[in-house]
Amino acid sequence: MNNHSLAASPVPAVDDAGPPPRVAAADLLRDLDLTSDELRSLLDLAALVKRSPRDYAHSLNGKSIALLFEKPSLRTRLTFELAIKQLGGDSLFTEGPVGVREPLKDVARNLDRWVNGIVARVFSQATIADLAHWSGVPVINALSDLFHPCQALADMQTIRERFGGLGGLKLAFVGDGNNVAHSLMLCAPRLGMDFALACPPGYLPNPDIVAQAQGLAAVAGVSIVITHSAEDALAGAHAVYTDVWASMGQEQEGAIRRRAFHDFQVNDALFALARPDAIFMHCLPAKRGEEVSDSIMESGRSAVFDQAENRLHAQKALLLMLL
Q: Which of 30, 121, 133, 313 is an active site residue?
A: 121
Q: Which of 125, 151, 157, 315 is an active site residue?
A: 151
238 is catalytic: no
148 is catalytic: yes
150 is catalytic: no
Q: Which of 150, 187, 199, 283 is an active site residue?
A: 283
Alpha helices in 3-72 (DSSP H): 36-51
257 is catalytic: no
* Contacts of residue 137, Cβ cutoff 8 Å, sequence gap at least 6: 25, 111, 112, 115, 116, 117, 118
Sheet holding 117-121, edge to edge: 90-95, 64-69, 117-121, 139-143
243 is catalytic: yes
Q: Which of 30, 75, 77, 148 is an active site residue?
A: 148
Q: Which of 75, 182, 311, 313 is an active site residue?
A: 311
Can you tell me the distance from the alpha carbon of 9 to that of 7, in angstroms, rounded to the nearest whole number?
6
**175 φ, ψ (degrees, to nearest 5):** 140, -150
Residues 287-318 as b/e (b if ≥16 CB within 10 A, e otherwise) read: eeebbbbeebbeeebbbbebbbbbbbbbbbbb
**Nearest Cα to 70, choosing from 108, 105, 96, 100?**
96
Q: Which of 190, 243, 257, 282 is an active site residue?
A: 243
259 is catalytic: no
> What are the catalytic residues?
121, 148, 151, 243, 283, 311
